[in-house]
Structure 1
Amino acid sequence: MTGVKINHFRIHKILLLALGVWPLQQSNFTRFQFIFLSSILTAHVIFQCTVFISQKCTTDLIIKVLSSVVFFTMFMIKYYMFYVNINGMKDLLERLLHVCNELKDENEIAIINKYGCYGVRYTISLLVAFCSISLVIFALFWPDVLNIILSINESRSHHLIIMTEYFIDQQKYFYFIFLHTIAALIIGATAMVAIGTMFITYLQLVCGMFKIASYRIKRAMSNNILQNMNQLKYIFIYKGLICAVNIHRQAMNLSTVLMFNIETMMLCLTISAVLSVSFNLFRVNLSELFQVMSFKENVEELLLPFLFTCSPILYMFLANYNGQIVTNYNEHIFITVYNVKWYIAPLCIQKMVLFLLQRSSKNFNLNVGGLFNGSLENFATLIKASVSYFTVIYSTQG
């Protein structure tokens, strides 16, 4: 697929090629990339869990380890499940780009490019946020990085704020462990941002298709067309409404098939995100906030759980917000049908419009596994669930 519309995915192409999971370009080398990088990420999660083997399990230890394990599990789910569904994603991208490249009307091309640019802006904004968070995390490790750069020979006790157990001398091999942690963070966060923003851009282009459907209805039922009807105008209206219904059905189909391909991923990610928020909220509970902030050296003990809390919340918000946008754009099509002057059209045209209005009685939502729909209401429900689980965990400490 070489159409100009692929430019909307150019940033995703660079990032996903680096991860070995760009759907439109798979080879033996990219498969090796995926195996190598995913092994680094998986190994880090395993070595976090092995802490339970080497240390006595207490409630505080379990919460501290699980708060980071669940967060890194989100990275693994996104990375692995996207790779498992890579052929389906390739087919969806090709179908989407084919629809975009079939557009001939200049106004329709402008609409799809506009929504593609929205997707690019989302991508750039989240990349900037990702880089900012990376700088904050890097600042937490700065003393150890500075120690490496300056080659300080004096003995010094090191510790990582993410607990791991490699069954080796942690002090002697600290910098190898440190490098593994940083690599796992970069790989996982890049996968999360790149794959997530690709889905957002995809849905933005689908919203552009819904907008084109509304545009085609308005153009077909404009006042100039409805006045002084003749045979040519009949044909124009029929074709206009048929084209509007066609691209509307394509948009719904592309959305439905996308959710079918990724519903297992989204369900697992949602569960992991809720648990991550709950566990990390426990680590940043208000009763210890001022105590932690009063010691400069312990700020890192608050900052990382805070980032591990905010990131899943941001993920859940964006996922549900984009689901809400798709629902709103679908509803806007039927608002457009209501607002055009269909009542002054000939009876045969009114019958066609009636079929469009009947379709509006059925809501269209991005459904995940038949359990919940992508919407702002669902986002509020997930946040309530996270806080409820946090409350349960916190009450057991009393």
Structure 2
Amino acid sequence: MICLETQHFNLNRTLLLAIGLWPYQKSKLVRLQIILFFGILISFVIVQFTALITKKCTVNFIIKVFSTMIFSSSYIIMYNMFWINSHRVRNLLEQLQYICNELKDENEFTIIKKCGNNTKFCTLTCTVFAICCALFAVLLPIWPQIFGTILHINESQIQSQAMQITTEYFIDQKKYFYLILLHTNAIFCIGTTTLAATGTTLLGCAIHACGLFRIASYRMEQIMTTKMFKNVNLKDRSMIYNKKIFCAVEIHCKAIKFCEFLSSTFKGSFFLLVIIAVISLSLNIYGIFQNISFGDKEAFLLHLLFASVILLYMFVVNYVGQEITNHNNYIYFTAYNSRWYNAPLQTQKLILFILLKGSRTYHLNIGGVIVASLECFATLTKTSMSYFTVMYSMEE
């Protein structure tokens, strides 16, 4: 028996526990932790928004503020998405555990174990990437101070170079520079952990969904390759065929229901994230080109970091959606290429039903609006570049 929580999602569990979003065993201390972290994330968006109220707004200034503020709002959406849907996240993991408990074939266990290894590898890779991004963002404001010590730059010049994110705290920002820096660093640490923890958990569920489709294909392959029909009469042979087809169709239906539950649970949040990703990518690409012309290296690197994270997130989500579609289509091809003509007539009718059902391609829907695929990734990227082109042409 496979325990998904301890064997496949152990690193995801650690990350979610660190930010209080693990859906099991919620104590009062964990609830307090959630409120504190969520309040910190919201406060950072507020202090950026207040800058639009208190300072003179030009087109470039508005774009600069929104490029970081909209990206920061993705932290809030991802955190809130797992917080308010904690019971659904728990149901998602329990559904997957229940399906895995029903597996009996050793090869099917091997498929699920391979999915677990892929989940752990992807989670570890994303966690290392998130740590590198957080360290980069945290150390970026300190770079001027390090070079300032060497080059004898005064404190005011260092602080003006270090504040790349425009905020308004209604206090003396030079006097309380290090407190503001502490708040900003806390945001980056909590935010990157949130993106890594929630994103890899959903990624792990999607990887296991692909594994369920692969098991359905394996069961379909075994229908016509069994060697136990030599001394079996036609009636018993038909019963064995039908039972095997039923097992293949059953796991296929469970895989589809699991994917639909996954997409419907976070439908509203996914819709907002798609909009935020497109807008934020456009603004940050604009920030990259703008700061190249201004020669502001720190701001250029910050916008480059944000744009890279958005592109990576968009690509992974759409790639996983494409993989789910491909695995589902493979079931259809397996049934089509099987030796269906050797099966009894009743079994041939059941296989024909599978072929008719498989002719309609299944897609993972995101936010009830778009279909996750590599084509969708290209479309979203193209849309972001179009918005960037419009903004850049208006500046000229």
TM-score band, normalised by shorter chain:
over 0.9
Q: CA deviation at 1:196?
A: 0.5
Q: Distance in 2 between matches of 1:246 and 1:314?
A: 34
Q: Please state whether the residue corresponding to 1:172 is helix, strand or coil.
A: coil
Is the contact made by 2:88 and 2:265 (CA closer than 8 Å) also made in structure 1?
yes
Deviations 1:160-181 (A, max 9, x none): 1111110001011111100000
| 1:266 matched to 2:270 | yes
The equivalent of 1:350 in structure 2 is 348
Is the contact made by 2:20 and 2:33 (CA closer than 8 Å) also made in structure 1?
yes
2:246 corresponds to which of 203, 224, 242: 242
Deviations 1:221-278 (A, max 9, x none): 2163566652443332221111111111000001001101111111101111111110
Deviates more, 1:232-241 or 1:100-109: 232-241
Q: Distance in 1 between matches of 2:265 and 2:80?
A: 13
Q: Distance in 1 between matches of 2:395 and 2:275?
A: 23
Q: Distance in 2 between matches of 1:172 and 1:288?
A: 27
Length-normalised TM-score, structure 1: 0.92
Is the contact made by 1:45 and 1:72 (CA closer than 8 Å) also made in structure 2?
yes
Which residues of structure 1 form unaligned runs of 5+?
293-297
The equivalent of 1:222 in structure 2 is 225
Q: Which amino acid aligns with 1:221?
A: M
| 1:171 matched to 2:171 | no
Q: Distance in 1 between matches of 2:362 and 2:138?
A: 43
Q: Distance in 2 between matches of 1:290 and 1:46?
A: 29
Is the contact made by 1:5 and 1:101 (CA closer than 8 Å) also made in structure 2?
no
Is the contact made by 1:5 and 1:113 (CA closer than 8 Å) also made in structure 2?
no
The equivalent of 1:187 in structure 2 is 190
The equivalent of 1:63 in structure 2 is 63
Q: CA deviation at 1:28?
A: 2.1
Matches within 5 A, 1:303-322: 303-322=301-320
Summarize the Cα distance change of 1:388–1:225 in structure 2 as closer, same or farther, 3 Å threshold.
farther
Q: Distance in 2 between matches of 1:288 and 1:227?
A: 75
Q: CA RMSD in A?
A: 2.2
Which residues of structure 2 form unaligned runs of 5+?
none
The equivalent of 2:79 in structure 1 is 79
Q: Distance in 1 between matches of 2:62 and 2:44?
A: 17
Q: Which amino acid aligns with 1:246?
A: E
The equivalent of 1:376 in structure 2 is 374
Q: Distance in 1 between matches of 2:186 and 2:342?
A: 65
Deviations 1:347-387 (A, max 9, x none): 11111111111101222111124321011111111001101
Q: How many residues align?
A: 389
Summarize the Cα distance change of 1:228–1:340 in structure 2 as closer, same or farther, 3 Å threshold.
farther
Q: Distance in 1 between matches of 2:291 and 2:50?
A: 27
Q: CA deviation at 1:291?
A: 5.8
Q: Distance in 1 between matches of 2:293 and 2:43?
A: 35
Deviations 1:178-201 (A, max 9, x none): 000000111111111110110010
Q: Distance in 2 between matches of 1:228 and 1:266?
A: 55
Summarize the Cα distance change of 1:27–1:3 in structure 2 as closer, same or farther, 3 Å threshold.
farther
Deviates more, 1:210-219 or 1:25-34: 25-34
| 1:4 matched to 2:3 | yes
Matches within 5 A, 1:31-110: 31-110=31-110
Deviations 1:44-87 (A, max 9, x none): 11001111122100111101110000110111111112211111
Q: Please state whether the residue corresponding to 1:224 is helix, strand or coil.
A: coil
Identity %: 40
Is the contact made by 2:266 and 2:367 (CA closer than 8 Å) also made in structure 1?
no
